[in-house]
A and B are shown apart, each in its own frame.
Chain A
Amino acid sequence: MLDVWDLPLRILHWLLALSVLIAWSSANVFDTVHEIAGYMTLAAVALRLAWGVFGTRHARFQNFIRPPAAVWRYLVQAARRQPGRYQGLNPAGAAMAITLLLLLSVSTISGWMQLTSRFFGVEWVEQVHTWSSNLVLLLVVVHVLGVLAMSALQKENLIAAMITGQKRRRES
């Protein structure tokens, strides 16, 4: 077993999951909780973005970002039950991570904007927040299903891997 996901990455991942879940369940129901969860999410996203530049190998964006064509090719192969050998993030997982981080940035920033005097009650800000947040929720479902599918395909517990940080060694 290899150490793949470092501790900061794992902590940030689960912190992000928790704060998004809290924000989701408190939306339009419990404003104060929703706002706090939003700020937590914003902080976690910012830290993850920084870690993607300064972190260990498999945390770095440079290590796993691929062009869209490569993501598509990967999905086609995976559908044929050939997931390939990626020690860290595969191209599809990478696309998901980047897309989620971008959408979360839009969601948290537009949410924060709504609490400023300038943008309070401004409709386009509210719509951006609603749309980006709903897209996040949709992708979270896809993300969870994707992780479960890849775990089955690779015969590896990827959820456990995000807790322990360890995966089976793959030849590069």
Chain B
Amino acid sequence: MKAPIKTTVIALSFVFGLAPAFADGFTNCTNAPKSSWKPASEAEAAAKAAGYEVRRSKIEGSCYEVYGVNGGKLFELFYSPEDLSLKHTKAK
């Protein structure tokens, strides 16, 4: 039973160790300190101005992640808290 155990350990190490490298989430939108961040509500306003129905937002790393619906399709929008530029759009 040794080979399967070794294989499993290697596979798990890969999954837990390297998975973040393949991450498709956006977490890096700014290096500016949190004290200088604009409020999340402004990111939501930007999304709304771009035509999305905004459901909610949250902080993801150094990004504002806005959950938006447009034309029945679901999107995660990643804004920089520093200047509210749209860094990444992810269709769900």
Q: Which residues of B contact A (CB under 8 A)?
A: 12, 15-16, 19-20, 22-25, 54-56, 67-69, 72, 74, 90, 92
Contact = CB atoms under 8 A, between A and B. Distances in A.
A123 B56 CA distance: 8
Given A31-B25, A122-B55, A25 B19 contact: yes
Contacts of A22: 15
A48 to B, nearest CB: 23
Chain B interface main SS type: mixed
22 contacts: A21-B12, A21-B15, A25-B15, A25-B19, A29-B20, A29-B22, A29-B23, A29-B25, A30-B22, A30-B23, A30-B24, A31-B25, A31-B90, A31-B92, A115-B92, A117-B72, A120-B55, A120-B69, A120-B74, A121-B67, A121-B69, A122-B56
A120 B72 CA distance: 11
Interface of A: 21-22, 25-26, 28-32, 115, 117, 120-123
A26 B24 CA distance: 10
A108 to B, nearest CB: 17
Contacts of A25: 15-16, 19
A117 B56 contact: no
A135 B49 CA distance: 39
